[in-house]
Amino acid sequence: MLFRLEHLSHCYSDGTLALNDVTLDFAKGERIALLGTNGSGKTTLLHHLNGILKPTSGRVYFEDEPLKYDSKSLLDLRRKVGFVFQDPNDQLFAPTVKQDVAFGPLNLGQPVEQVKRVADEALRTVGMAEYAEKPPHFLSLGQKKRVALAGVLAMQPQVLIMDEPTSNLDPRATSEILHLLLRLNKEYKITLILATHDVDMVPLFAKKLYILSKGKLVSEGSPEELFANAELIRSVSLRSPRIAHLFEVLKKEDNLPINPRFPLTISEARKEILRLLGYRNENEEKETSNR
């Protein structure tokens, strides 16, 4: 297992119990989403994966070894596990884009020439190479998010953790970030773990979904499994993706013979509609693997 959390609890100094006895496993190469409302403990959980927070009780294992919190072990962990923060203004502190991207690799003690190379490459990957010499305050929020991502990619991590990667982004910037993440997972085999409350985005991205509520792990499974359980979703103050909701209404109110596993994405919905209308799609088999 890549990560294993065992009976993890975290209590902040002001007394809030942010995580309450969470046990779970994250597999390598996976695309994982943590779903929950604001204050459900997603961010706190993520902060444990990269050693930013220490558990109040319980344990965190990375590659089957318990995390150690001395500075050398932490540096080692942080090279492998990159963390992109929700607000890029927290992360971008350097006066220029390139300086900021170079910060991580320089901390890893890489030689200057190599740092320049990886920084340029990371900026190209996120499509921000032409902004290398600009100060961050010249950029839009979407651009800042991409630079923040580049700053972490430059450390060449195996795991990428992102807190609300699409919050406050316009539709176009959202889809750009999503495609970028999918590409990183596919081409570089980077394990992706992200926290979100954007239920419409989850099925587009995640293979594996964990639902948190009030600091507890409520459920885990594939997005299809979990979103099929409407009661569960409502009990944690979330909702189904819009598309699934539409099909739920069509089934309940109009008694259409819809599969109990509601479609979650446009391509799934298209298939279901075609099935209902009696069309047979010849490429059906192919499309299933393409979602």
Taking residue 127's Cβ as centre, other Cβ atoms within 10 Å add up to 13
Question: What tokens were used for 206?
Answer: 């995640």
Beta-bridge mates of residue 219: 211
- In the bound complex, what is the minimum distance in angstroms from residue 78's beta carbon to another protein? 5
Q: How far is the CB of 266 from another protein (least distance, A)?
A: 35
- Residues ≥6 apart with Cβ < 8 Å to 26: 1, 2, 3, 4, 32, 191, 193, 208
> How far is CA 130 from each of CA 58, 136, 217, rounded to the nearest angstrom?
45, 13, 43
Number of residues located near another protein, criterion CB under 8 A: 43
Pick 102 or 212: Cβ nearer another protein? 102
Is 152 a binder of another protein (CB under 8 A)? yes
Contact flags string 51-70 toward another protein, x per CB under 8 A: -x------------------
Q: Which stretch binds another protein (CB under 8 A): 109-117, 166-174, 193-201, 234-242?
A: 109-117
Residue 11-50 contact track with another protein, rule CB under 8 A, x = bound: --xx--------------------------------x--x
The binder of another protein chosen from 56, 89, 140, 237 (CB under 8 A)? 89
Min separation Cβ 283 and another protein, Å: 44
Q: Does the protein bind another protein through residue 3 (CB under 8 A)?
A: no
Residue type, 114: Q
Give buried/exposed letters for 237-272 (b at 16+ CB in 10 A, else e).
Answer: ebebbebbbebbebeeeeeeebeeebbbbeebbebb
Is 263 a binder of another protein (CB under 8 A)? no
Q: Does 235 bind another protein (CB under 8 A)?
A: no
Residues between 131 and 150 that touch another protein (CB under 8 A): 133-138
Tokens representing residue 227 in the block: 């979103």
Binding residues for another protein, rule: CB under 8 A, are 13-14, 47, 50, 52, 71, 74-75, 78-79, 82-83, 85, 87, 89-96, 98-99, 102-104, 106-108, 112, 115-116, 119, 133-138, 151-152, 155
